[in-house]
């Protein structure tokens, strides 16, 4: 017996919308900090980290590179291809560290990075229900069966209507 996958719902996000959502995230985070450093989960967290760093006037930015997707699907195994700088890992007050990503999906990546920096604050722009418990601050929740098309994934093209015309 085969299990049918849930239908994919498309959620295309424009550059303008993503910038607004990242600024909304920064606004929420401004009441949480203060933070001294950002750890950006690459690649998706690069753009939101830059925007949040600007809005919160943070200069210390590091990356942790985790491969969790391939060919537009979640991979079974995560791969860490760049670790967090030891100076941040050794930082005595981890609550001063902000971890930023574009999206939490299943929560596997977030859980892995949380193990590296216990006590850090994890923020994402978008959250899906399975990963939501791993996130401290987010802007928008989308259903688990929604695929978010980020602006760096898109070009300008026709989008068919949600409900077809018959």
Peptide bond into 43 cis (omega under 30): yes
Active site annotation includes 102: yes
pLDDT of the residue at 78: 83
Residues 140-150: tens digit of each pLDDT:
999 999 999 99
Active site annotation includes 85: no
Residues 42-79: tens digit of each pLDDT:
999 999 999 999 999 999 999 999 987 666 556 678 88
Rounded average pLDDT over 79-100: 95
pLDDT of the residue at 72: 57
Catalytic residue among 16, 76, 85, 105: 105
Six-digit token pair at 12? 């295309």
Domains (ranges, CATH) in the chain?
10-153 (3.40.50.2020)
In degrees and rounded to multiples of 5, residue 118 shows phi and psi of -60, 135
């Amino acid at each position: 017996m085969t299990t049918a996958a849930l239908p994919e719902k498309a959620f295309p996000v424009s550059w303008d919308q993503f910038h607004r959502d990242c600024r909304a995230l920064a606004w929420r985070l401004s009441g949480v900090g203060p933070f001294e450093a950002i750890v950006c989960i690459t690649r998706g967290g690069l753009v939101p980290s830059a925007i949040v760093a600007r809005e919160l006037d943070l200069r210390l930015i590091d990356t942790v590179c985790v491969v969790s997707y391939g060919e537009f699907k979640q991979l079974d195994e995560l791969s860490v291809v760049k670790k967090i700088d030891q100076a941040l890992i050794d930082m005595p007050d981890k609550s001063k560290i902000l971890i930023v990503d574009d999206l939490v999906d299943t929560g596997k990546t977030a859980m892995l990075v949380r193990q590296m920096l216990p006590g850090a604050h994890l923020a994402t722009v978008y959250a899906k229900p399975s990963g939501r418990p791993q996130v401290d601050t987010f802007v928008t929740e989308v259903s688990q069966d929604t695929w978010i098309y980020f602006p760096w994934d898109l070009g300008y093209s026709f989008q068919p209507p949600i409900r077809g015309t018959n």
